[in-house]
């Protein structure tokens, strides 16, 4: 991690909600999701929040590092139909070792649609991939 990775770092992501990011598309094999309205799915909202945080970190990580989401605590307060522009603003509010915490807020033209916090962990990609491979190999041996 670079020494520029410190609280106060901000970022913004604008995302135009496409038809395929609505509740019925979240898990197409689910009849229950399929019967719900065509509005931005909370699961996709989480992904958009994560993306905004990752973008805010661009240039602040060392080569071979990345971040993974480890905690999410956000509301989903208003429905957002396809074709609507969502703006996500994030601010890094805490750095504790490799643990990062962001304050997040998302809005569209009509309302604040989400607010809360998101935690990410800085990882060394090679070490993470090695641990993942060991886990996959162990699982395959048990099958």
Is there a catalytic annotation at residue 137? no
Rg over CA atoms, the chain: 17
Is there a catalytic annotation at residue 50? yes
**Token couple for 102:** 């962001």
Is there a catalytic annotation at residue 76? yes
- Residue 29 — left, alpha, or beta (φ > 0 → left; ψ -120 to 50 → alpha)? alpha
Out of 60, 76, 80, 118, the active site residue is: 76
**Separation between Cα atoms, residue 101 and residue 72, nearest integer Å:** 10
Out of 42, 84, 87, 117, the active site residue is: 42
**Token couple for 109:** 């033209």
DSSP bridge pairs for 67: 122
Out of 22, 50, 65, 67, the active site residue is: 50
What does each C-alpha distance from 38 to 69, 80, 92, 118, 135 come to in angstroms? 26, 9, 32, 25, 38
Active-site residue list: 42, 50, 76
């Amino acid at each position: 991690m670079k020494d520029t990775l410190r609280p106060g770092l901000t970022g913004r992501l604008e995302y135009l909600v496409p038809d395929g990011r609505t509740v019925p598309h979240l898990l197409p094999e689910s009849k229950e999701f399929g019967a719900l309205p065509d509005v931005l799915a909370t699961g996709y909202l989480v992904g958009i929040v994560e993306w905004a945080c990752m973008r805010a970190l661009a240039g602040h990580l060392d080569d071979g590092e990345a971040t993974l989401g480890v905690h999410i605590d956000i509301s989903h307060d208003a429905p957002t139909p396809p074709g609507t522009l969502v703006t996500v603003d994030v601010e890094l509010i805490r750095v504790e070792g490799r643990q990062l915490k962001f304050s997040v807020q998302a809005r569209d033209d009509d309302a604040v649609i989400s607010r809360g916090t998101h935690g990410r962990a800085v990882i060394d990609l090679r070490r993470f991939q090695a641990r993942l491979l060991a886990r996959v190999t162990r699982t395959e041996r048990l099958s």
